[in-house]
């Protein structure tokens, strides 16, 4: 029998198998800046938006293309941990099926 996706990754702290991906803090900050830049007139458009986009792009490229690690968080105890992107892809594939 094929192993189910949820059985591939366990929380290292409590052993629970409900885990989800956690976005990087940098991406969240730059994403928020970009969003604020769209909403806030003038200063937002001239300052926040460019900073957000300029920061978001390299952070996103690093996160999704260069980094071989994927940040995960346990949905039970909120323990944060890291797995290899390879394992994450396998996990995602199993979760879809
Ligand atoms: Zn846990």
- Calculate how far, in angstroms, residue 66's C-alpha sits from the geometric centre of ligand 1: 27
pLDDT value for 48: 96
pLDDT value for 24: 86
Residue 66 sits in which domain range? 5-96
Q: How confident is the model at residue 6 (pLDDT cuts 50, 70, 90)?
A: low
Res. 1: pLDDT tops 70? no
Average pLDDT, stretch 69-83? 94
Average pLDDT, the chain: 89
Length of the chain: 97
- Calculate how far, in angstroms, residue 76's C-alpha sits from the geometric centre of ligand 1: 5
- Number of independent structural domains in the chain: 1
Residue 7's contacts (CB-CB under 8 Å, 6 or more residues apart) are 17
């Amino acid at each position: 029998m094929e192993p189910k996706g949820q059985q591939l990754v366990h929380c290292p702290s409590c052993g629970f198998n409900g885990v989800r991906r956690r976005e990087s803090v940098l991406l969240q900050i730059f994403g928020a800046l970009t969003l604020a830049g769209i909403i806030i007139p003038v200063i937002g458009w001239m300052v926040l938006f460019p900073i957000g986009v300029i920061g978001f792009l390299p952070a996103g490229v690093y996160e999704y293309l260069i980094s071989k690690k994927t940040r995960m968080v346990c949905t039970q105890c909120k323990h944060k941990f890291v797995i290899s992107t390879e394992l994450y892809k396998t996990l995602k594939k199993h979760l879809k099926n």
